[in-house]
Amino acid sequence: MINEFAKTHNLKKYQVDQFNIGYYKTLISSFDELSTWSKQLREDLKKELLFSKLTVEKTETSNDGSTTKVLFKTGKNNYIESVLMRDKSRNTVCVSCMSGCPVGCIFCATGQMGLNEILDEQEILDQILYFARELKKENSSITNIVYMGMGEPMLNLENVAQSIEAITDTDKLAFSKRRVTLSTSGYVQNLRAFLGKNLGVKVAISLHAPNQKLRDILMPNVSKNNTLIDLFEVLDGYVKDTNKRITYEYVLIKGVNDSISDAKELVELLKGRLALVNLINYNENGCFEFKKSDNTLLFQDILLKNGINCTIRKSYGGDIKGACGQLSVNYIQC
Ligand code: SF4
């Protein structure tokens, strides 16, 4: 965050270290709290840099207290949402990398917003730091970070990669790579570039269909130019090189992709691959006619009986539209 400032003010390494300790580890809540710096330097910092590029517009917590959704405004007056999900000792933050999303998957509320703005590294980090500071007030901390909020990370590759570097940098947030998951709809070329960076985070693919034809219908913008054949070529190469398992997210929509034959086709697609299927019950969102599947357990059973690892994702925050596929700021009339 302070690279430019450090250069123009000829900061010594120990001063940069002091900043990083205060900002990322102590989680100060304003530059005034950076007591290891002189008052003058703090004043310069305040004049030249924003403590956070995002401002909090609204927070909502679900009835059961498990989920808090925060509406942030960017400097360009666009809105994004981020979500904190609590489950026992687990505090997972779901971050956005864009305001809206250009991919327009036909079942996703965020996709209906189109793209308003691509977030920079700092704006992505600001979401994480916000929740880290909030949890610190309860003597708690973030345990997991998922890039599954608004936007497609592979269409904001550099900023997303830089934010992951900052999260996992031992001088900054020092977050375990194993506790960071990036989810993508599968832009093959950029995914190859991302995986080539060896950032060590977990990768999840928004698959949502067991074949090319159905994927072309559900996710037309990404699917048509990024075929399953090309996608698996990249993923299979990555698994071969790293022996890391890929998670495949599959949102189950009634009568669309949840039949027994869909499950069997998914088995055939993933057989022999190091894969975990994460089934997601469709969260009805008022934007579409799509309905939640009744077949979730049966679908899971078919996968498990055929040797495919499969879990069902716990849904958080449906009552505040904070669940998967529901993020869209309120001014969007679905
Ligand atoms: S599912 Fe993901 S990639 Fe598709 S429109 Fe929604 S946010 Fe974008």
Range of the domain at 28: 1-51
Residues 2, 102, single domain; the answer is: no
Residue 81 annotated as catalytic: yes
Q: How confident is the model at residue 126 (pLDDT cuts 50, 70, 90)?
A: very high
In a domain, 177, yes or no: yes
Give the pTM: 0.93
In a domain, 73, yes or no: yes
Residues 107, 34, single domain; the answer is: no
CATH number at residue 11: 1.10.150
Residues 79, 117, single domain; the answer is: yes
Query: Domain count of the chain?
Result: 2
Higher-pLDDT residue of 259, 113: 259
Rounded-to-integer distance, Cα 104 and Cα 225, Å: 14
In a domain, 329, yes or no: no
Q: Tell which one of 101, 251, 327 to mutate to probe ligand 1, the residue whose CB is within 8 A of the most ligand atoms.
A: 101
Residues 121, 262, single domain; the answer is: yes
Residues 81, 44, single domain; the answer is: no
Residue 79 CB-density burial (10 A; 0-12 exposed, 13-18 middle, 19+ buried): buried
Q: How confident is the model at residue 324 (pLDDT cuts 50, 70, 90)?
A: low
In a domain, 327, yes or no: no
Residues 294, 161, single domain; the answer is: yes
The answer on pLDDT for 192 being more than 70 is: yes
In a domain, 123, yes or no: yes
Give 5-33 pLDDT, tens digit per residue.
999 999 999 999 999 999 999 999 999 99
Residues 41, 95, single domain; the answer is: no
Residues 25, 59, single domain; the answer is: no
Residues 242, 292, single domain; the answer is: yes
Residues 35, 59, single domain; the answer is: no
State mean pLDDT over 178-194: 97
Mark out the alpha helices in 78-172 (DSSP H runs): 121-136, 157-168
State mean pLDDT over 250-269: 97
From 51, 67, 93, the end of a domain falls on 51
Residues 152, 270, single domain; the answer is: yes
Rounded-to-integer distance, Cα 2 and Cα 11, Å: 10
Q: Residue 287 has what pLDDT?
A: 76
State mean pLDDT over 157-180: 97
In a domain, 281, yes or no: yes
Q: Distance from the CA of 275 to the center of ligand 1, in angstroms?
A: 21
Backbone angles phi, psi at 308, to 5 degrees: -100, 120
Q: Residue 111 has what pLDDT?
A: 87
Q: Residue 57 has what pLDDT?
A: 95
Q: Residue 329 has what pLDDT?
A: 54
Residues 47, 65, single domain; the answer is: no
In a domain, 330, yes or no: no
From 62-66, 242-246, 312-316, the region with the lowest mean pLDDT: 312-316
Q: How confident is the model at residue 314 (pLDDT cuts 50, 70, 90)?
A: confident
CATH number at residue 292: 3.20.20.70
In a domain, 151, yes or no: yes
Tell me the residue type at 121: E
Tally DSSP H helices, then E strands, for the chain. 11, 12
Cα atoms found within 13 Å of the Cα of residue 315, Cβ hemisphere only: 18
Q: Are strands 180-184 and 144-147 parallel, antiparallel or unpaired?
A: parallel
Average pLDDT, the chain: 93
Q: Distance from the CA of 246 to the center of ligand 1, in angstroms?
A: 18
Q: Residue 204 has what pLDDT?
A: 97
Lining residues, ligand 1, CB within 6 Å: 101, 103-105, 108, 110-111, 150, 152, 185, 206
Give 218-240 pLDDT, tens digit per residue.
999 999 899 999 999 999 999 99
State mean pLDDT over 305-329: 75
Do residues 156 and 117 touch, judged by C-beta distance below 8 A?
no
Residue 105 annotated as catalytic: no
Angle at 231 between CA 244 and CA 103, to 5 degrees: 110
Q: How confident is the model at residue 327 (pLDDT cuts 50, 70, 90)?
A: low
